[in-house]
Amino acid sequence: MTGEVKHLANNERYRILMINGETYIMDIERSFWRIIFPFFFWLLPNSVFKVKDQTLVEQLRTEKMKKVGVSGRASIIGTAYAGGVFLAPLMDYFNIPMSPLVNIALLIFALIMVGLLYFNFSYNRKKKLYDVVELEALPRNKLRIRPTSIKQVIDVLFSYIFLLGICIFFFLGYVETQNIMGLIITSGLLLGFLMINRKAIKEGTATVKFKG
């Protein structure tokens, strides 16, 4: 059957699914494995929570997600490019001699900090929703959701391979050069990699099938 996927108002962790006139909430950060492997959204059943209170439904649908416009994206890209050009001549100053043990320890510490930062953001988004409704108190269903098009599959696959590859490249580069700036850059890229799962459940029409 066909359903419609919408973003939850100002909360990127959740999606609203409109199916046969009924409303469901989907938590796309509920599973750690779906964060690491966004393809699991299409391959495995997903939990959704049915919302019967129409007042609550209207409250959830009142606002739209704030999206960065073209000019906003251009500003972000321009700032990142200018920062890269500015820091490039200074990269040698971030080469800090250290023992292999300290080098690996800093790498592990960076990975832990990125994970904690991501899950802190995720927890705050969950708390924001639970101030309105507690999902566990709602009826739960299982459904399968299919990608909207081949274009979406290619988009997610390309983003996944590209960001994963560049993260590994920079991490190995850091281990080899011991350049702290490389570690900082890679940590930011890793945070972006953890957000790819949002592309797997995009706003728009989707094909879904309830399990059981």
For the chain, the DSSP string reads -EEEEEEETTEEEEEEEEETTEEEEEETTS-HHHHH-TTHHHHS-EEEEEE--HHHHHHHHSS------HHHHHHHHHHHHHHHHHHGGGGGGGB----HHHHHHHHHHHHHHHHHHHHHHHHHHHHHHHTT--GGGS-EEEEEEE-S-HHHHHHHHHHHHHHHHHHHHHHHHHHHH-BHHHHHHHHHHHHHHTTTHHHHS-SEEEEEEE--
Each residue's pLDDT, cut to its tens digit, for the chain (212 residues) gives 888 998 887 788 999 999 988 999 999 999 999 999 999 999 999 999 999 887 887 777 665 444 433 344 444 444 444 544 455 454 454 556 667 787 788 888 888 988 999 999 999 999 988 888 888 889 999 999 999 889 999 999 999 999 899 888 888 888 887 777 778 888 888 888 998 998 999 888 889 999 86
Q: Hey, what are 21's tokens?
A: 């006139």
Which residue in the block uniquely carries the two structure tokens 């690996």? 104
Q: Write the burial class of residue 92 (CB in 10 Å: 0-12 exposed, 13-18 middle, 19+ buried).
A: exposed
Domain residue spans in the chain?
A: 2-210
Which two structure tokens, joined as six digits, stand for 41?
A: 């959204």
Q: Is 178 left (phi over 0), alpha (psi -120 to 50) or beta?
A: left
Alpha-carbon distance of 161 to 158, in angstroms, equals 5
> What span, in angstroms and rounded, lies between the C-alpha atoms of 122 and 179?
30
Q: Rounded distance, CA 183 to CA 153, Å?
A: 30
Q: What is the pTM of this model?
A: 0.77
